[in-house]
Amino acid sequence: MNNLNGTYSVDKFIESALYDKSYGYYSKKNPFGKQGDFVTAPLISPLFSEMVLVWVISYWINLGKPKEFSLVELGPGNGSFCKTFCKNLKKFPSFENSIKIFLLERSKKLIKIQKNTINNKKVTWIKNLDQIKNGPILFFGNEFFDSIPIKQFEVKNFSVYEKFVNFKNHKFNKFIFKEVSAKTLKKLKKLGLLRKKGTIEYPQKGLEILESIVKKITKFDGGILLIDYGYLKAQGNDTLQSLKSHKKNIFYNNVGKADITYLVNFELLSKFLTSQKLFLNKIVNQSFFLKKLGILERAEIVSKNANFKEKADLYYRLERLLSEKKMGSLFKVIFASKNKTNFNLGFK
């Protein structure tokens, strides 16, 4: 471990731990799958990606089948979602002719992995949203927001303090709390984040990215579909979590060798997107969304020609996606669009 000495705000620390060019977690290794530290829905079952494809095509039809249609995947991970998505495009030739796929990724290591996984002329890698010149445009993110650094504040004796992480000789030393300015208080109040006690989590960077996404949607028409683990109502809890080799890790230990995420505040996302004049569906959980899209029926079709072992594996994976004890209810789905629409597939 190198370069980590002194005092960092929580978001600056996470930024270094995940994205530093020399020791950052996403700069060094492939964190996905059995050999990595966590498994995402597209890795658990291709049925997840198939269902999202069904949803995207239905949305495209709802827009009037535009001749040019852009899909931007936010943080494509190891490329599993895009690979399955592209593989199944062939079944829908008119949609395939219309779509352009953009992958927004900042990790050079992950871009390398994605390019080894995905081989399709429809796919372009981008570093920022300025590279998208037309629409309509749909942004899709699965476990995207939970990887963007957040700020943390503690409320003590009716005062708000920002949390900082102090390191000495590259090792965690202590937490430091600094009282916030009136300007920060005003910002937290405006977003509905101020509370009388507990922890406040503020995804400043995430909201900045979301704002630039909204500008593109407003300019070119379209929407944003996000799936992530999170909650509907903040309880004042510290939700930062870290995983190393699929096991829990204290977030300030094993810096650069472990993933750091947090639970996404969907109430805040909803408020923010509404304040940006987008129209929202109600927020549903992943199980509801996938079932409404027909994942159980699709599993039945796929399992017809499968042997017992394949069938057992298919339904085991399906249970991970849908079970309340696994990902089914913890993961939430939110969709916002430029125009008010009767399109509510997966949400009703």
pLDDT tens digits, residue range 258-287? 889 999 999 999 999 999 999 998 999 999
For residue 20, what pLDDT is reported?
A: 86
Q: Cα separation of 341 and 281, whole Å? A: 9
- Burial of residue 174, with CB atoms counted within 10 A of its CB: 0-12 exposed, 13-18 middle, 19 or more buried: exposed
* Contact in structure between 70 and 135 (CB atoms under 8 Å): yes
Angle separating helix axes 46-62 and 80-89, nearest 10 degrees: 60
Q: Beta strand 222-231 with 264-265: parallel, antiparallel or unpaired?
A: parallel
Phi, psi dihedral angles at 152 (to 5 degrees)? -125, 140
The pLDDT, as a whole number, for residue 245 is 79
Name the amino acid, one letter, at 227. I
- pLDDT, residue 32, reads 65
What CA–CA distance (Å, rounded) separates 246 from 162?
30
Helices (H) and strands (E) in the chain, counts: 13, 17
- Could you tell me the residue ranges of all domains in the chain? 6-293+329-337
Q: Which CATH number fits domain 6-293+329-337: 3.40.50.12710, 1.10.1660.10, 2.40.50.140, 3.50.50.60?
A: 3.40.50.12710
Angle (CA) 316-322-326 rounded to 5° is 80
3-state secondary structure of 328: coil
Q: At 215, which amino acid appears?
A: K
pTM above 0.85, yes or no: yes
Residue ranges in the chain modelled with pLDDT below 70: 1-3, 28-38
CA 74-118-319 angle, 5° bins: 70
- With vertex at residue 279, the alpha carbon angle to CA 96 and CA 183, rounded to the nearest 5 degrees, is 120
> What is the model's pLDDT at position 325?
84
Q: How deeply is 309 buried, as exposed, middle or buried, from its count of CB atoms within 10 A (0-12, 13-18, 19+)? A: exposed
Helix (H/G/I), strand (E/B), else coil: 204: helix
Terminal Cα-to-Cα distance of the chain (whole angstroms)? 49
Distance in angstroms (rounded) separating the CA atoms of residues 266 and 109: 30
Q: Compute the distance between CA of residue 251 and CA of residue 255 in angstroms, rounded to an integer.
A: 8
Distance from chain centroid for Cα 115? 20
Q: For position 1, what pLDDT does the model report?
A: 46
Residues 6+ apart with CB under 8 A from 102: 70, 71, 72, 73, 123, 124, 125, 126, 131, 132
Which residues, listed in sequence order, are joined to residue 331 by a DSSP beta bridge? 229
Bridge-based pairing of strands 222-231 and 137-142 is parallel
**pLDDT at res. 88:** 94
DSSP tag of 29? -
The SS3 of residue 96 is helix
What per-residue confidence (pLDDT) applies to 34? 56
Q: Can you tell me the distance from the alpha carbon of 89 to that of 179, in angstroms, rounded to the nearest whole number?
A: 53
Q: Given this model, what pLDDT does residue 29 score?
A: 61
